[in-house]
Structure 1
């Protein structure tokens, strides 16, 4: 009888733990992340609108203040809720959290902490595998390692061409990218080249460059 009672208690205990791990959707947190990411996106790109009036130094101070303030907020969110997956804030909210962590480059230890917490959520399909790939590369680059998925680019400004930052096992990069749902690195490289051209179009046209330098895109292997 004691044995049956002990087994029942163990089962109930595990059931309670599983129940505790389920998170209730938090609309307020999702809304807060939406508001924060709107400011994040202003700081992450070139100055537009009223921000064009800022000097280079003023713009840098603005960006730094945004990312510093957001890092503190994101850290508090993480301490309270763990990694905010789809169950807690929906797909958009989870993506917003991840995107702002991407821009916490001054705090690579924090990015690594989020990456570690994100891994099991990806396995449970409670977080985006593509986002995990981007953050993996970001952490590696920020800690002096080679990237895995080729998501981080630098630019040849003489040709207007995106070039992958140092990459581990480049021969198999597309295999790894396909596994997490990313397109071929060549296709991504071209899209980044095009975006870079559009963001710096006036300067490139002064140099006589009217379009970005693109690379050939390989056919995706059939399975």
Structure 2
């Protein structure tokens, strides 16, 4: 990974702007501050973001640190992570992100989160314990493939033990910020 500027600052700006707008909408959704029209607009924005990311993936592969810089690479990861309505695109992004990780152009923590999200969205148990449900009565970790070795697996990709990650999430989502309906989210640890 490099400290030089990104090769495509135009793509970087677009990814960052899209991810920031989407994150703001999700934050309002978690706090139940959106009406039905705004929820629909948020879903439309997620679809539009997925389409933009799909175009970037087809033209450039994963938009990693070299192409767009670390901040925009994180934005691309966030867009892919929230492409829940398009599982084929999410799986393709997971594969390309894994290749970028292997080339040293992306963070393995981002791949672990996206890998887990794609598994959960396709009805499978997750591997790294990064996906959870926020419910009115608390936080629930989505089903795990191998819970007995979870913390070892998390450590292998640079994630903290599950108990530490859950404390962070509990601090972030205090009782008055919980959603009334279940909402799948990723741990905020892949910064």
- Indicate the TM-score class for this superposition, using the shorter chain for normalisation: 0.7 to 0.9
- 1:43 matched to 2:25: yes
Q: CA deviation at 1:174?
A: 0.7
Given candidates 168, 174, 178, the residue that maps to 1:191 is 168
Deviation per residue, 1:74-100 (Å, 9 max, x gap): 111111111111110111111110111
- What RMSD in Å do the two structures reach over aligned CA positions? 2.2
Q: How does 1:1-223 map to 2 (within 5 A)?
A: 25-47=7-29, 52=33, 55=35, 57-155=36-134, 157-158=136-137, 160=138, 162-197=139-174, 200=177
Deviation per residue, 1:148-170 (Å, 9 max, x gap): 00011124533x3x221100110
| 2:28 alignment partner, SS class | coil
Greater relative contact order: 1 or 2 (C-alpha under 8 angstroms, separation 6 or more)? 2
Counterpart Cα distance in 2 of 1:73 and 1:153: 26
Change (3 A) 1:137 1:199: farther
Normalized against structure 1, the TM-score is what?
Answer: 0.72
Structure 2 residue runs without a partner (length 5+): 1-5, 181-191
| 2:99 alignment partner, SS class | helix
Runs of 4+ with >4 A deviation: none
Going by fraction, where is helix more abundant, 1 or 2?
A: 1
Q: CA deviation at 1:47?
A: 5.0
Which structure's CA Rg is the greater one?
1
Counterpart Cα distance in 1 of 2:156 and 2:175: 30
Q: CA deviation at 1:193?
A: 2.0
| 2:93 alignment partner, SS class | helix
